[in-house]
């Protein structure tokens, strides 16, 4: 199975998001994180995360960029258990 994995070309994610994902984490599109927030609460770094962030499955931090990587069956099982 092929899944998204965070990558970091520079330190910008450390500055623009409330929390940055670690490099190399499996990631998902991050929009579900905001489902319980009101529109007026999504400002500043949270707005940046909403517009441009993938969420890391381990740290729950955000990453601007991901690459597609092959996940082993064991990786998928760990991810399913964490969701």
For residue 10, the enclosing domain spans: 2-82
Over residues 69-79, the pLDDT tens digits come to 999 989 888 88
Tokens of 31: 């929009």
Under a CB-based contact definition with an 8 Å cutoff, are residues 23 and 56 in contact? no
* Whether residue 23 has pLDDT greater than 80: yes
DSSP structure class, residue 21: P
pTM: 0.89
pLDDT value of residue 56: 94
Residues 26-45 have a mean pLDDT of 93
Domains identified in the chain, total number: 1
Sheet with 62-63, edge to edge strand ranges: 62-63, 54-56, 26-29, 2-7, 65-70
């Amino acid at each position: 199975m092929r899944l998204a994995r965070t990558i970091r070309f520079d330190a910008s994610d450390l500055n623009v998001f409330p929390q940055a994902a670690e490099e190399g984490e499996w990631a998902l599109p991050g929009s579900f994180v905001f489902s319980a927030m009101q529109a007026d609460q999504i400002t500043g770094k949270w707005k940046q995360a909403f517009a441009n962030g993938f969420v890391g499955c381990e740290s729950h931090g955000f990453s601007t960029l991901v690459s597609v990587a092959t996940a082993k069956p064991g990786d998928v099982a760990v991810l399913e258990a964490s969701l």
